């Protein structure tokens, strides 16, 4: 069974940093592209970033480019999202998601990030 378990969310002050982790199991992690997608409270889904299977290629939404960094450790079956210079508008539930042949097929349960003073 595919499992994606996010962690690392919490309350952080504007301008602060946070690193999210996503522990994957139930599939061959190193064979899949992985994504981060976020959802602000009461709002819709917003794609944040993706990384290819070996970590050599990454893409970011314009709203986080230069502030967020996606990475992965295939030996640990773990996906990361380093978030710097956080803003109030980054407040959201952050979902880790697996991609197969180009699209997202499984999502984790999400971790809440709150940016507030």
Partner 1 sequence: QSVLTQPPSASGTPGQRVTISCSGSSSNIGSDYVYWYQQLPGTAPKLLIYRNNQRPSGVPDRFSGSKSGTSASLAISGLRSEDEADYYCAAWDDSLGGWVFGGGTKLTVL
Residue 23 or 61 with smaller CB distance to partner 1: 61
Residue 12 or 93 with smaller CB distance to partner 1: 93
Q: Could you tell me the smallest distance in angstroms from the CB atom of residue 49 to partner 1?
A: 8
**Cα first-last separation, the chain:** 40
Q: Could you tell me the smallest distance in angstroms from the CB atom of residue 110 to partner 1?
A: 6
Using CB under 8 A as the criterion, which residues of the chain lie in contact with partner 1 when the complex forms? 35, 37, 44-47, 50, 59-62, 95, 102-110
Determine how many CB atoms are found less than 10 A away from the CB of residue 19.
Answer: 13
Q: Could you tell me the smallest distance in angstroms from the CB atom of residue 99 to partner 1?
A: 9
**What is the residue-wise DSSP string for 37-103?**
EEE-TTS-EEEEEEE-TTSS-EEE-TTTTTTEEEEEETTTTEEEEEE-S--GGG-EEEEEEEEETTE
Residue 23 or 46 with smaller CB distance to partner 1: 46
């Amino acid at each position: 069974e595919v499992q994606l378990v996010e962690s690392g969310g919490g309350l952080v002050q504007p301008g602060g940093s946070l690193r999210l982790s996503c522990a994957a199991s139930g599939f061959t992690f190193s064979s899949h592209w992985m994504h981060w997608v976020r959802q602000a409270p009461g709002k819709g889904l917003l794609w944040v970033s993706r990384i290819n299977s070996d970590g050599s290629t990454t893409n970011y939404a314009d709203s986080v480019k230069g502030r967020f960094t996606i990475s992965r450790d295939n030996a640990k079956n773990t996906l990361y999202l380093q978030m710097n210079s956080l803003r109030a508008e980054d407040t959201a539930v952050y979902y880790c998601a697996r991609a197969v042949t180009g699209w997202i097929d499984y999502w984790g349960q999400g971790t809440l990030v709150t940016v507030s003073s």
